[in-house]
Amino acid sequence: MNALLAILFYLATLLFVVGLFHRIRTYAVTPAPLKIPTTPAPTTTGGVVLRMTREVVLFESLFKANLWTWGLGWLFHASMALVVLRHLRYFIEPVWGWVVFIQPFGIYAGIAMLLGLCGLWARRLFVERIRYISTPSDHLMLLLFIAIAISGLMMKFVAHTDVIAVKIFFQGLMHFSIQPLPADTILVLHLFSVVVLLVIFPFSKLLHAPGVFFSPTRNQADNPREKRHISAWAAKMESEK
C-alpha cells in the first residue's frame, strides 16, 4: 500500500503540475484580439490588479449575483485555503511559526469547509435552476471534496491516525524514499481522494482557478481610446493591404 500510494502521488503530482502548466500556457499564449472588459472597469493596470484581487479574494461579482451562493462558496473556498495551509506542516521541517499558529483555526476551517460544501450541494440538489444545469460530474466533484473533508475530520475527531508517521511518509516522498504509512482505512481514503483531485484538476472545471486570471472581461484595463490594442494575427491583416 505504501508503494502504491507513493507511486500514485508521484504520478498525480506530475500530471497536476504538467497538466496545469500546459493549460496556463495555452491561456497565456491565446491572444485576446479585442478590448472587452465588462464596464465600468478600471482604467489603469493598478486598478485591474485591485479588481482582480477583489474578485479572487472576496468573490465580488458573485456577491452581486446571489448572497447564498456567495456565502456558501466563500465559506468553502476560504476554509479550504486555511485547511491547505494547515497541511503545510506535513511538508516542511522545522514547521514555520505561522503554520503552527493557524493549526487550531485550520480545524474549525475543516468543519466550515464541510458545511459550505453541504450547502452548495443542497443548492445543487434542491434549487430547480441549479439542478437543471448540473452534470453528474458537478455532483461528484462536490462529493469528492466532501469525502476529503469528512475523512480528514474523522482522523481528528473519531479515529486518530499517527500523524508523525504520515509526516515521515511525505518527507520521504520529497526525498524519493518510500517510508511506511499507517494502515488506516480512513487515511488511505483521504489520501486517495486527494490523488483523484490532483488528477482531475487540469482537465475539469477546477480550471476556474487559473482561468479567472486570464478572463479578458476582468483583466483588461478600460483604455481602448488611449492605447491601441491589437493582436498579432489581426495586425497581419493590415500588412496584407
Partner 1 sequence: MADITPPAYRSIPIIPKLIPGAMEGKGPFVATDKINEALGFPGHLVDDWHDKAIAKMGDLLTRFRSLKVYMDACVHCGACSDKCHYFIGTQDPKNMPVARQDLLRSVYRRYFTLPGKLFPKLVGARDLTREVLDEWHNYFHQCSECRRCSVFCPYGIDTAEVTMAAREILQSIGYGQKYSLEILGKVHKIGNNLGLPAPALKDTLEGLEEDVKEATGIDVLFPMDVKGAEVLLITPSADFFAEPHIDSLIGYAKVFHATGTSWTLSSMSSEAGNFGMFIGNYDQLRQAALRIRQAALELGVKRIVVGECGHAWRVAYSFWNTLTGVGDGADANDRFAQMLQKQLDHRYKQPAHICEFTWDMIEDERIELDKSANDNLIVTFHDSCNVARGSRMGDYPGGQFDIPRNIIRAVANNYVDMDPSTTHERTFCCGGGGGVLTDDLINVRVKGALPRMEMLQQVTDMQKVNFMACICAICKTQFTKVMPIYGFDRRMVGGVHQLVSNAIVLGKNK
Give the interface with partner 1 as residue ranges (CB under 8 A). Answer: 23, 26-27, 30-36, 38-43, 55, 59, 61-62, 64-66, 69, 73, 123, 127-130, 132-138, 140, 200, 203-205, 207-208, 211-212, 214-218, 222-231, 233-234, 237-238, 241
Instruction: Please give the distance of CA 17 from its chain centroid, rounded to a whole number.
Output: 13
The whole-angstrom separation of Cα 36 and Cα 56 is 19
Compute how many other C-beta atoms are within 10 angstroms of the C-beta atom of residue 45: 12
In the complex with partner 1, the residue whose CB is nearer, 182 or 210, is 210
Tell me which amino acid residue 31 is: P
Tell me which amino acid residue 30 is: T
In the complex with partner 1, the residue whose CB is nearer, 34 or 183, is 34
* Residues 182 and 166 sit within 8 Å (Cβ to Cβ): yes
In the complex with partner 1, the residue whose CB is nearer, 34 or 100, is 34
Cell numbers placing 8: 500514485
CB of 166 to partner 1, least distance (A): 31
CB of 226 to partner 1, least distance (A): 5
For cell 448572497, the residue is: 67
Tally DSSP H helices, then E strands, for the chain.
12, 0
In the complex with partner 1, the residue whose CB is nearer, 79 or 161, is 79
Cell numbers placing 93: 521541517
In the complex with partner 1, the residue whose CB is nearer, 3 or 133, is 133
CB of 92 to partner 1, least distance (A): 31
* Residues 222 and 42 sit within 8 Å (Cβ to Cβ): yes
In the complex with partner 1, the residue whose CB is nearer, 191 or 200, is 200
Cell numbers placing 160: 486518530
CB of 194 to partner 1, least distance (A): 19
CB of 133 to partner 1, least distance (A): 5
CB of 178 to partner 1, least distance (A): 29
For cell 479588481, the residue is: 51
* Nearest residue to 79 via CA among 120, 125, 117: 117
